[in-house]
Amino acid sequence: MRVLVAMSGGVDSSVAALLLKEAGHDVVGATMKLWGGISDSGCCSVSDVEDARRVAARIGIDHHVFNFTEEFEESVVQPYVDAHAHGLTPNPCIECNRRVKFDLFIDRAVRLGFDKVATGHYARVTQGPYGWRLLRGLDVSKDQSYVLSMLSQERLERLLLPIGEFEKSEVRRVARDAGLSTAAKADSQDVCFIASTTSRVEFLGGRTYLHPARLVASGSREPLGEVPSIEAVTIGQRRGLGTAGDSARRYVVEVDHARGEVVLGAFEETLVNEVRFSGPTFTGDPVPEGERIQCQTSSHGRPAPAVYRIGHAVFDSPVKRVAPGQTIAFYRDDEVLGAAIVA
């Protein structure tokens, strides 16, 4: 089988390529050049490309670089900026997966004659009686099924996830035993197109006009201070609000762009019984109205039991309010059923 492996330059995709090669497949590695600006905190730096190239040479496979910088700018970076400007808190990693890594990359692989594509994500794809199923990775602490929750049957059919059955420690051991240069490389962190020396406010300020906002107390509307950018504030936020001297522990419970106010309240005010969403997509058949499911609202968040309704999920017990623009993923035990954008 001809397999094109998305090699990010990290240990996980390195081992994915190695395992497929050892299994006897015709393997080729490809690294996506996504961000044309400065990057030192994610998976888009020049050094990552070189790391992937060295690993490919060590394994004995061809390696290519696909330049998707224009598509990444149009599909991920600019929408990220626009979302913040309109009061949303987007998840750029999921949008990158949706628009680039599992869209453009797979389409190019098909045009080049590959049967499958593979990545180093900690999740599993299996074939069941009614189609392809996306499952959590066996390493619970590294499970990445949440960021793949928007994949369709068409995409799952083309996908291999070779390390989904592995613990992270085992992946590093395999890499060390094979002499791969990425064996001890740290995992990528944060948003890849925002350098570690640049704050989110600085990045957004270079691309859109930022507006200061008043901090006010929930209920009384008592003034509590000011933030330099309402666009960079998100629901549930506690840190970085300039209220460190306040003995009360306050959280963002509302962001009112029209009034230029950020409303702060107690932790209890961040709790809700339901989360509304729009644009649901499903890995297989749509989730039936009224079905009991589990919902996850962040990459490593704990799944919470809920009832699926059209346009919203009703939780068994209160959960922290989720910022509009974030992704909510639907599960049945270990199986991913789909995802939607919080409204």
pLDDT tens per residue across span 204-230: 999 999 999 999 999 999 999 999 999
**Are the C-beta atoms of residues 248 and 305 closer than 8 Å to each other?**
no
pLDDT band at residue 235 using 50, 70 and 90 as cut-offs: very high
Model pLDDT for residues 79-95, shown as the tens digit of each residue: 999 999 999 999 999 99
- Please indicate, yes or no, if residue 234 is contained in any of the structural domains: yes
Residue 148 forms part of a structural domain: no
83 shares a domain with 13: yes
Q: How many residues does the chain have?
A: 343
* pLDDT, position 333: 96
Q: What is the pLDDT of residue 85?
A: 94
**Is residue 206 a part of any domain in this protein?**
no
Q: What is the pLDDT of residues 308-322, one digit of tens each?
A: 999 999 999 999 999
Q: What is the pLDDT of residues 112-124, one digit of tens each?
A: 999 999 999 999 9
Segment 292-313 mean pLDDT: 96
Q: What is the mean pLDDT of residues 264-283?
A: 97
Confidence of residue 38 (pLDDT cuts 50, 70, 90): low
pLDDT band at 41 (very low <50, low <70, confident <90, very high): low
pLDDT of res. 246? 59
Query: What pLDDT band is residue 248 in, cutting at 50, 70 and 90?
Result: confident
Which CATH number does the domain housing residue 105 bear? 3.40.50.620
At 45 the pLDDT is 67
Looking at residue 130, its pLDDT comes to 86
Domain count of the fold of the chain: 3
Q: How large is the average pLDDT for residues 131-149?
A: 96
Do both 87 and 19 map to the same domain? yes
Instruction: Give yes or no for residue 239 having a pLDDT over 90.
Output: no
3-state secondary structure of 196: coil
Residue 188 counted as domain residue: no
Residue 224 shares a structural domain with residue 253: yes
Q: Are residues 21 and 39 in the same domain?
A: yes
- Confidence class for position 43, pLDDT limits 50, 70, 90: low
Q: What is the pLDDT of residue 291?
A: 98
Segment 272-276 mean pLDDT: 98
Is this structure's pTM higher than 0.75?
yes
pLDDT(236) > 70: yes
Selecting among 43, 44, 93, 96, the annotated active-site residue is 96
Can you read off the two tokens belonging to residue 321? Answer: 């309010």
Over residues 36-63, the mean pLDDT reads 82
Between 331 and 196, name the one with better pLDDT.
331
Q: Do 35 and 170 fall into the same domain?
A: yes
Same structural domain for residues 97 and 217? no
Q: Kindly state whether residues 115 and 247 are assigned to the same domain.
A: no
Q: Where is pLDDT greater, at 46 or 336? A: 336
Residues 331 and 216 grouped into a single domain: no
Assigned token pair, 319: 């959960």
Instruction: Report the pLDDT value the prediction gives residue 231, as an integer from 0 to 100.
Output: 95
Kindly state whether residue 192 falls inside one of the protein's structural domains.
no
Secondary structure of residue 39 in the 3-state scheme:
coil
Write down which residue in 225, 245, 265 finishes a domain.
Answer: 265
For residue 129, what pLDDT band results from cuts at 50, 70 and 90?
confident
Query: Which residues make beta-bridge pairs with 62?
Result: 28
DSSP string covering 113-131:
T-SEEE---SEEEEEETTE
Same domain for 324 and 232:
no
**Out of 9-13, 44-48, 95-99, which region has the weakest mean confidence (pLDDT)?**
44-48
Q: Are residues 251 and 327 in the same domain?
A: no
Residue 260 covered by a domain: yes
Q: The CATH number of the domain where 241 resides is what?
A: 2.30.30.280
pLDDT above 90 covers a percentage of the chain that reads: 86
Domain that holds residue 297: 271-342
Last residue of a domain, one of 229, 246, 265: 265
The alpha-carbon radius of gyration of the chain (Å, integer) is 21
Q: What is the pLDDT of residue 206?
A: 94
Any idea what the CATH number is for the domain that residue 328 is in? 2.40.30.10
Domain assignment present for residue 286? The answer is: yes
Mean pLDDT for the chain? 93
Q: Please indicate, yes or no, whether residues 99 and 21 belong to a single structural domain of this protein.
A: yes
Q: Looking at 43, 44, 93, 192, which residue is catalytic?
A: 192
| DSSP per-residue string spanning 263-332 | EEE-GGGGEEEEEEEEEEEESSSPPPTT-EEEEE-STTPPPEEEEEETTEEEEEEEEEPPPTT-EEEEEE
Helix, strand, or coil (residue 143): coil
Q: Which amino acid is at 328?
A: I
Distances (CA, A) of 112 to 2, 3, 67, 116, 301: 10, 11, 15, 11, 38
* 24 and 169 fall within a common domain: yes
Give a yes or no: residue 142 inside a domain.
Answer: no
Among 132, 154, 177, the domain-final residue is: 177
| Residue 192 known to be catalytic | yes
Mean of pLDDT values over 181-196: 85
